[in-house]
Structure formats: C-alpha cells, structure tokens
Amino acid sequence: MNAADLNTKFAIDGRVCVVEGPGGLPMIDITTDKAQARISLYAGQVLSFKPTGQSTDLMFLSDTAYYAPGKAIKGGAPICWPWFGPDPEGKGRPGHGFVRNRPWNLLATEELSDGRIQVHVGLHDTQETRAIWDQAFELELCVTISETLDVALITRNTGTTAFALSQALHTYLAVGDIAKAQVIGLDGTTYIDKMDGGVEKVQHGPVKIDGETDRIYTGVSGMLQVEDAALSRCITITPRGSASAVVWNPWAATAASMGDLGDDDYKIMLCVESTNAGPDIIDVAAGGEHSLGVTYALSQL
C-alpha cells in the first residue's frame, strides 16, 4: 500500500499519519500530548522519539543515512534478527539478519484510553526469507508512545520445529558529547570485548567511551542509565526478555569509513542495545513465542 491507502485504513486524526519519507519510504508519524515519534515502515524501525519540551531527540539519526531498498537505515532503533552479528552458520548471509532492510506491514494503530498511542508492524516468512533462513515465523513490533517510549519485538514460531535466535534492538542514542557521557548499571558485569579478539573482561565502574568500543555484556537484566552531562539529561533503559546488552561506538576511523555516517558523528551518538547476544541465545518452541522489550525514559540530571 502507498501512504494514502495506509492513511485511509490506519490514520488517527491528529495522532497518527502515514507520510512519504526520504527515498519515498513510508513513515508513520505519531503525535501525543506527551511526545512525538516516527517509525519507518521499511525495516520496522523507530527513527525518532522526542518528549514534549525536549530540544534533542532521544535517538540519533545520521544525516547521511541511506533510505533505499536493500540498505539499512543508520540510526534510530534498527532490528537485528534472527541473528545478531555475523552469520552464525558461516553461509555468507548478511550480518545482523535480514529484517532491517526490507519492507514491513502496518498491522494496527490504536489510541488507548489514557492517551497513549500504539502502533503494530510486522512481517512473516515468505519464499524469499525461507531461502535465507528456513523457518516459519511471525515477527511483530509493538511501539507504545507516551512520555516514555516502549518497544516490544515479539517472535512467534509458526512452524513444527523449534528454532534458536539471537537478536537486538540496536538503538542509537543521541548524546551531547561522547566524552561527557557514561553508562551506569554495568559495574562488575562480565563483557566480551570484540575489539580485543573476544576476550572476556569485567567492567569496573561506569562505562566511559574513549575509543572504538564493541562489547557484549552478559548476565544483564536490570535497568541501565546513560548519563549525558553535555545535555544535562539521563536516559533510563529498562529491558525485558533479555540477559545481555551491547555497548557500541565506532569512534573516528570507523565512522570516517562509513558512507552513511558523518566523520564526527561518533561524538554525538552511543549505541546501548537490548539484546539476546553472545551466550544469551533464545530457543523458541514450535507454536511458542518470545518477546524482547525495552522502555526508554528521559529525565534531567
């Protein structure tokens, strides 16, 4: 469906509108009394969330992001599924799976009695996805907009055999200055340092970024906070259905090598990802489901 057809079926007057976004991709714009948000129907990806009164978006979105079929959008909350990182079977399939660079379907929109807006998008297996990953599935993203942003990624196994998956909500958070930002809540946690050959290390104190960083923290199920001194704000991240988290920043050289990321963008972004990654693998029984969720809240320091 094009944007006009989707509006006929799913628009909510003054609250939800489908527009033609960059590259002609359909975008869902949400407005409530408490916040504004944008979801790309391509990739099923939240691109923006800004509570009323906030001058800076919760999320970082690259000014040079690609908006084209087959390309991932750099920023917001890309979905890595049904694997996180390289192809786990070494078959040459794309890193981070195959759902972050294909169209999703708009399933439903709803204004709840308390003024929250919910948007449901999803996709399911096709002959094309079966050629990549031979499993029957339904995947749904439920996004709830209020003074907080809640995202739930629900995997349903519609086949007759169990399957295993790893996954991530690969969220790019906007920060005022990476040198003045830190992640609280991981002290004492073991992490896999992908910048050091996968060696396991233990975090001591807050996570501070002073170089290229790519870490899978294991045994993580509690709340995390990003303290952003430059913007005088705190981002609280409350995950569900996961036991791992990823912290990533490309730093200068890698950022400069990416065509869809500005050379200095590493200074104003930090990925803190709610994941099932590393040893945190999820088994979904035939007929079963798993939900990976996260709630983001903004407050002032």
Separation CA 202–CA 290 (nearest Å): 29
Q: Please, where are the H alpha helices in the chain? A: 3-10, 127-132, 251-257
Separation CA 30–CA 251 (nearest Å): 32
User: Rounded to whole angstroms, what are the CA distances from 135 to 29, 281, 301?
Assistant: 32, 16, 46
Instruction: Please give the structure tokens belonging to residue 181.
Output: 């930002």
Is residue 120 annotated as part of the catalytic site, yes or no?
A: no
Q: Are 203 and 220 in contact (CB under 8 A)?
A: no
**Which residue out of 96, 140, 273, 290 is catalytically annotated?**
273
**H or E stretch at 218:** strand 213-218
Q: Are 126 and 143 in contact (CB under 8 A)?
A: no
Instruction: Please give the structure tokens belonging to residue 7.
Output: 């509006």
Separation CA 3–CA 141 (nearest Å): 19
User: At a CB cut-off of 8 Å and minimum separation 6, what does 131 contact?
Assistant: none
Instruction: Please give the structure tokens belonging to residue 45.
Output: 């990806």
- Residues forming beta bridges with residue 38, ordered by sequence position: 29, 48
Amino acid at the residue 266: Y
Instruction: Please give the structure tokens belonging to residue 9.
Output: 């079926």
**Which residue out of 96, 170, 212, 289 is catalytically annotated?**
170
User: At a CB cut-off of 8 Å and minimum separation 6, what does 194 contact?
Assistant: 214, 215, 216
Is residue 111 annotated as part of the catalytic site, yes or no?
A: no
DSSP type of residue 157:
E
Q: Just list the catalytic residues.
A: 170, 273
